[in-house]
Structure 1
């Protein structure tokens, strides 16, 4: 761990680059006034102790980071740079993270990022400082993720800064005369730590129920895995089950991405922030990393966080706290009970995309990346490296997170090198790597323990809990290394496969109990998101973002009940559930200024539904007679999917089993001739020859469809022919699996011929 304590961070907020005893100067990389093309990386603070600047240029050197500093006096200074050779831990050759430090534009002779597998002070030699006011620059040389944490100058040419965390912290305080300057914020009714879907849901829900809320997020944008930084599209169905209003808040800011990863614009970072800032009861603190807390009488009294840009320290006092960090970080600091699967966890993804330029492009050779050929990874279809670029299944997801991320980077760079410089070169002359997430998308780490630990059997057996409230509609989706690509790198496979337990009710949803959303032993701690009280297996269904967001909505309403009755989260269930039940039935836009004020309802209500509104094309607004797959009769193993956009209703069905059948019954009210159409979505894994039949009292027909090809009719339909039907009869359209690729069934549409 690095030396940075709250005391250090508070001082640096004012000093940035601080003269110490007349012969020393320390410059923190995060304090640079102009980051240039370098990125501020805050995701490994708990691991290595500090934010740092990352030269993430996708193989093109980044624009210089610059700042102005003042030396205490002219003279000869020895320079140390805290950095590392990020591929050295694997004995990889080439040092891709090379960079230089320049003073007034003149680079030091030493090149940094070329030594040590661990963070260390790289000796940069001696420099003659003639003018006390200079411009300090970081000059990236490769674009391949060089990293700089801090720069230290000393006139003691034999000095060397301490290396261990405790020694560094003490040394810094003594040498810099650090005085703590902590700003106190609050007190708040609820302090939410983590600004992903679950944290946003909790903050907005509590604020609208009259609670004063602080929302703390360690990144510059909201959304977590559902932000433009990570680009995991929002999955999980909302507004269904016992409480069909839950999810209306999430729907306000959920992304509309058509693919994962999608584009920057599709994830709507600005919209998310605007929705949060529009709530008068929320104080938003972006770029704040929470790393300490105070306990009083067994409860959390305050959480301390520092600004990752200025290092200003803030203490957030509150009555209740919600851990929405994903890692259960606040719960762990508070001593909350938690569980963590030792081996075989779900890993971390770093997705990527490439595009076609209008000219030939080049990409540097990457001898330090994973040594890949085109057969060593799945071809990135649609120019996307998707969710399954995932590793770290048996690695430490907390203290080894940086290494997991860096391994993923090596995998992507190695793959693109194979595309550009190896056997894929002739096909990819114009290919250009345009985006690679340097912020990892983790799936699993700590799970905090509540009064109920939800299991796979609970979900599959539909065990009924009296406080069941958040509908989980995702299958139990667990990830494992994909053997086809794992043999070459058994120590850390980087391509995963999803194994689905399809026994989850994906239409109505399994209601996750409220008692999974608060700590068993910390009386004022809530949790929402993937760190709730579930087993490893149950996590496979609750971890998707819209589901996590709905947990936050429930937590926010529970906080208001706690405030009204001066009670604990546990007592909400034990003594006040009838009141909570009423709040969960409210529209998402319902609000009150304080917890004791009258609830005001929105002028326009969304229609309530046990299944929620269609998430795709609305069958009720389509011409003719439309029968969705939800009304179809199924035999064999069919899976409901929502991953391919453009579907009708709430999703679609697909099956790879030979002989699997789905039959659409169509009630004919008016006799006549009808064009019969089938809706499907094409994909390369679809069957090229799908048997589809039409049958009625007079109508008989069969057609074979290549479902790898785009349907020719707008809306994703293909015509099966025109048939005559009699009034009152029930006709059928049947789709049968061939076993040669997946068969897709979405909807059937009958268009009266005279209406065409």
Structure 2
């Protein structure tokens, strides 16, 4: 036994930990920053004040992760974020397609503890900062409530990914809270005082059907008069979890220091809503439902935003401005909420989309006055209006990956965060990010160390897309639909398609393109044809008299006509999609965005894919063939579709697809990187929503790698990830590599975005 006598005072055990980078905040942003930095060789301390990782995505809050893909409800094609956040979402979709938040906790924890360079401190809150001088943090002080231990955390670099900016605040970093005026940055969407300057918190609940009657007796503190919530007439018994995002409050309060009071108001609302659903008599279908879970901490949207050397504004997003120091991208709508939240008469959100994704500059990812402090997650340097887009979790995690990589560069060169920009190290940072799969719009990987650049690349076959083979189905044109196809510059080839009609009618078919390269908003009509269609089966040829100035995706657009049914195919190909002029109310997509003239937003149509098993390709035939799937694409430095598929795709009928790399002299190879197609267009919401499959249909599952002598160097089965690294314990010396792949299925041909080969010494940091 332990027995202690009387004493005047005692103190908790004290532990000191030194690392290269201390990250405060274990939400998705902190996790992605930590893993990125650790894989570059940094000793990382990740300190999290909650018992689980994930922040707003964890089982404590249960918000799904989204970013530029926006529930597939905007025009941002192939826009899911890459690198570590992609790895996590793909892993979760494989293990947890049902969206169980507890399983997602496990996935995150598993990813972090596998990294030997990360020291993880859970249930540990930072409460004080020591500084070396006015501009430099020396150490953080933290306390773990579970082991009653205090920690002193020292490092040359720190990253604040805490959401509220606890380290930035305590260190004296310049910050803002609330909304800028329209005049400060010329932002026409800046909110008025009536709308409010802060987004509130939300708190969710889950229900469960027990199969027998359940009585609910509300607590005394529950909201009694449900009519105080203007949208009470839209309540229903089916919605739960983050579909209840609109249960929001706190935008008129201090969203940091008043959080506990805000939580209590949200509890009043949640239990009042459930009381109304259970006991009003208006929802007989709720008789057997029980309240399975109610959030104990609210999900925060907004508090402090910190100032960097560049502050993003509305114009950066809407105009899709280019930045020389771009390190990430965003694509969520500019999404403001009324400060009164659930008690407001206004709509729960006010979302306006841009025509495509936008760049995020590195200068927004570090403090302008605390010289060794990176900014991660939602607290990056952005105005209130720009923050309305950059704040969402996948975007926040993406910029944090860039901060983690920048930290590695700082340690290697013994420089501070701002020096990366000021001393012209941005190209090096960008290239290192691209190498990990972090797509940056407009940039191309140029890696002199990649041995593939010296190889002759060939393949057993290359898809020449003249038609989709096999049987077709018919689907009525109840929505306007377009086939998105990548074409070479020059004359647009002729196309043939099949249509069935009930009676004589005229079908309008237009060829459209995007006004900005890399966008997928079909806002330019290049040509239009009106084609007579007769009763029965029709085989129709169309020729658009158009010359394309550059290679680009075009939209063969079939306008809505319920009298016509188009032939579609079950065949799918990397970099090929059909899109629909449809509605997705979840992201304020009503088929067309028509903003008021005075808010600085653009008007355009939405053309979005359908989730599988829907969204079949139109059975278009192109006799000239589309030859944009060449083997050479694997070394072009782009690992996802942009203006072209950027992938090698094998022919449908190739019985054993192969990529062959041949060198004039033997090469010494330490590791190989393969980038496969885990479908960057699928948003992979992390919780609540069930996905149609746990492995993306385009992803190569099985492959083998052989050397020139036929020796098997790697034999992978059941792959589902985007990035595959094959590391050899001993250097492989060969003048040829043969990568043998299996088609993912009978309906999808094998595809590869990139192959990279590297030499190096044993133990070299990758």
Shorter-chain TM-score tier: 0.5 to 0.7
Q: Which runs of 5+ in 1 are unaligned?
A: 1-13, 22-175, 488-494, 591-597, 604-619, 633-658, 677-693, 702-721
| Contact 2:329–2:395, Cα closer than 8 Å, also in 1 | yes
User: Quick one: distance in 2 between partners of 1:297 and 1:535?
Assistant: 28
Instruction: Pick closer, same or farther for the CA change 1:588–1:309 going to 2, 3 Å.
Output: farther
Q: Corresponding residue for 1:357?
A: 210
Instruction: Pick closer, same or farther for the CA change 1:439–1:600 going to 2, 3 Å.
Output: farther
Match of 1:517 among 348, 365, 369: 365
User: Quick one: distance in 2 between partners of 1:359 and 1:535?
Assistant: 51
Q: Corresponding residue for 2:249?
A: 391
Q: CA deviation at 1:504?
A: 5.1
Instruction: Pick closer, same or farther for the CA change 1:380–1:190 going to 2, 3 Å.
Output: farther
| Contact 1:216–1:285, Cα closer than 8 Å, also in 2 | yes
Q: Corresponding residue for 1:448?
A: 306
SS, match of residue 435 in structure 2: coil
Instruction: Pick closer, same or farther for the CA change 1:432–1:570 going to 2, 3 Å.
Output: same
Q: Corresponding residue for 1:587?
A: 436
User: Quick one: distance in 2 between partners of 1:236 and 1:621?
Assistant: 32
Q: Corresponding residue for 1:734?
A: 559
SS, match of residue 178 in structure 2: coil
Q: Corresponding residue for 1:379?
A: 235
**1:496-507 → structure 2 map (5 Å cutoff):** 497-503=348-354, 505=356
User: Quick one: distance in 1 between partners of 2:412 and 2:35?
Assistant: 18
Deviates more, 1:309-318 or 1:244-253: 244-253
Instruction: Pick closer, same or farther for the CA change 1:414–1:600 going to 2, 3 Å.
Output: farther
1:722-751 CA-to-partner distances (Å, cap 9, x unmatched) read 741235557752139899995686356445
Q: Corresponding residue for 1:202?
A: 33
User: Quick one: distance in 1 between partners of 2:405 and 2:30?
Assistant: 13
User: Quick one: distance in 1 between partners of 2:292 and 2:147?
Assistant: 30
Q: Corresponding residue for 1:327?
A: 164
User: Quick one: distance in 2 between partners of 1:750 and 1:532?
Assistant: 42
Q: Corresponding residue for 1:433?
A: 291
User: Quick one: distance in 1 between partners of 2:496 and 2:399?
Assistant: 49
| Contact 2:483–2:618, Cα closer than 8 Å, also in 1 | no
1:259-290 CA-to-partner distances (Å, cap 9, x unmatched) read x9985357511111111111121111111111
Q: CA deviation at 1:346?
A: 0.5
SS, match of residue 289 in structure 1: strand
**1:298-697 → structure 2 map (5 Å cutoff):** 298=134, 299-341=136-178, 343-373=196-226, 376=232, 378-380=234-236, 382-384=238-240, 386-424=244-282, 426-480=284-338, 486=344, 497-503=348-354, 505=356, 509-575=357-423, 576-588=425-437, 673=498, 697=531
Structure number with larger C-alpha Rg:
1
Q: Corresponding residue for 2:693?
A: none
Q: CA deviation at 1:584?
A: 1.9
Q: CA deviation at 1:454?
A: 0.9
User: Quick one: distance in 2 between partners of 1:661 and 1:481?
Assistant: 37
Instruction: Pick closer, same or farther for the CA change 1:264–1:745 going to 2, 3 Å.
Output: closer
Q: Does 1:286 align with 2:137?
A: no
Q: CA deviation at 1:341?
A: 0.6
| Contact 1:324–1:527, Cα closer than 8 Å, also in 2 | yes
Q: CA deviation at 1:483?
A: 8.7
Q: CA deviation at 1:561?
A: 1.2
User: Quick one: distance in 2 between partners of 1:696 and 1:381?
Assistant: 47
Match of 1:189 among 20, 29, 39: 20
Q: CA deviation at 1:675?
A: 6.5
SS, match of residue 512 in structure 1: strand
User: Quick one: distance in 1 between partners of 2:262 and 2:297?
Assistant: 11
User: Quick one: distance in 2 between partners of 1:516 and 1:370?
Assistant: 42
User: Quick one: distance in 1 between partners of 2:79 and 2:209?
Assistant: 44
User: Quick one: distance in 1 between partners of 2:321 and 2:497?
Assistant: 48
User: Quick one: distance in 1 between partners of 2:451 and 2:24?
Assistant: 28
User: Quick one: distance in 2 between partners of 1:19 and 1:665?
Assistant: 78
User: Quick one: distance in 2 between partners of 1:544 and 1:19?
Assistant: 53
Instruction: Pick closer, same or farther for the CA change 1:381–1:750 going to 2, 3 Å.
Output: farther
Q: CA deviation at 1:577?
A: 1.8
User: Quick one: distance in 2 between partners of 1:521 and 1:304?
Assistant: 21
| Contact 1:481–1:497, Cα closer than 8 Å, also in 2 | no
Q: CA deviation at 1:223?
A: 1.0
1:56-104 CA-to-partner distances (Å, cap 9, x unmatched) read xxxxxxxxxxxxxxxxxxxxxxxxxxxxxxxxxxxxxxxxxxxxxxxxx
Match of 2:533 among 699, 721, 742: 699
Q: CA deviation at 1:179?
A: 3.2
Q: Does 1:177 align with 2:35?
A: no
Q: Corresponding residue for 1:95?
A: none
| Contact 1:626–1:748, Cα closer than 8 Å, also in 2 | no
SS, match of residue 382 in structure 1: coil
Alignment: residue pair count: 486
| Contact 1:355–1:383, Cα closer than 8 Å, also in 2 | no
| Contact 2:40–2:405, Cα closer than 8 Å, also in 1 | yes
User: Quick one: distance in 2 between partners of 1:599 and 1:280?
Assistant: 29
Instruction: Pick closer, same or farther for the CA change 1:673–1:457 going to 2, 3 Å.
Output: closer
SS, match of residue 234 in structure 2: coil
| Contact 2:308–2:366, Cα closer than 8 Å, also in 1 | yes
User: Quick one: distance in 2 between partners of 1:337 and 1:572?
Assistant: 20
Instruction: Pick closer, same or farther for the CA change 1:528–1:585 going to 2, 3 Å.
Output: same
SS, match of residue 560 in structure 1: helix
1:157-214 CA-to-partner distances (Å, cap 9, x unmatched) read xxxxxxxxxxxxxxxxxxx50235311012x110001011111111111111111111
Q: CA deviation at 1:660?
A: 11
Q: Does 1:233 align with 2:64?
A: yes
Instruction: Pick closer, same or farther for the CA change 1:356–1:456 going to 2, 3 Å.
Output: same
Q: Which runs of 5+ in 2 are unaligned?
A: 180-195, 440-446, 453-466, 486-491, 502-527, 545-555, 562-580, 592-606, 610-614, 622-745, 748-766
Instruction: Pick closer, same or farther for the CA change 1:600–1:560 going to 2, 3 Å.
Output: farther
Match of 1:247 among 82, 88, 106: 82
1:443-479 CA-to-partner distances (Å, cap 9, x unmatched) read 0001111111111123223333211221111111111
Instruction: Pick closer, same or farther for the CA change 1:557–1:674 going to 2, 3 Å.
Output: same
SS, match of residue 420 in structure 1: helix
Q: CA deviation at 1:358?
A: 0.6
Q: CA deviation at 1:324?
A: 0.1
Q: CA deviation at 1:661?
A: 6.9
**1:97-116 → structure 2 map (5 Å cutoff):** none
Q: CA deviation at 1:626?
A: 12
**1:268-283 → structure 2 map (5 Å cutoff):** 268-283=104-119
SS, match of residue 328 in structure 2: strand
With the length of structure 2 as denominator, give the TM-score of the two structures: 0.56
User: Quick one: distance in 2 between partners of 1:447 and 1:555?
Assistant: 16
